[in-house]
Amino acid sequence: MAGSTSIRINQQLYEQARQDAAIEHRSIAGQIEFWARVGRAALDNPDLPVGFIAESLASLSEPREDAQPFVPRSSRSK
């Protein structure tokens, strides 16, 4: 990690981040950083669905060796 800065956030937001972080196997700080990246990308790309943005960003953090190649549906049945 490059560095960190302490900030104050609403307790309810913290608790939601704590719950979601446990489900997503992230730290609380990592969860809040992920939400911030999703929000920023959503603002920068208003035509894209937020779910698509979130899934795309999550996939970028996965190890490349765990990635599965994309196979178009038209090629699957041949």
- At 3 the pLDDT is 82
In a domain, 3, yes or no: no
For residue 26, what are the contacts with CB-CB under 8 A and spacing of at least 6?
20, 34
In a domain, 21, yes or no: yes
Token pair recorded at residue 16 = 């939601």
78 residues of the chain, pLDDT tens digit each: 578 889 999 999 999 999 999 999 999 999 999 999 999 999 999 999 999 999 998 888 778 887 778 888 887 665
Residue 62 identity: E
- At 70 the pLDDT is 81
Q: What is the pTM of this model?
A: 0.71
For residue 57, what are the contacts with CB-CB under 8 A and spacing of at least 6?
34, 37, 38, 41
In a domain, 24, yes or no: yes
- At 76 the pLDDT is 67
In a domain, 50, yes or no: yes
User: In terms of residue numbers, what domain contains 43?
Assistant: 11-60
Question: Most distant CA pair in the chain: distance in Å?
Answer: 56
- State the total domains in the chain: 1
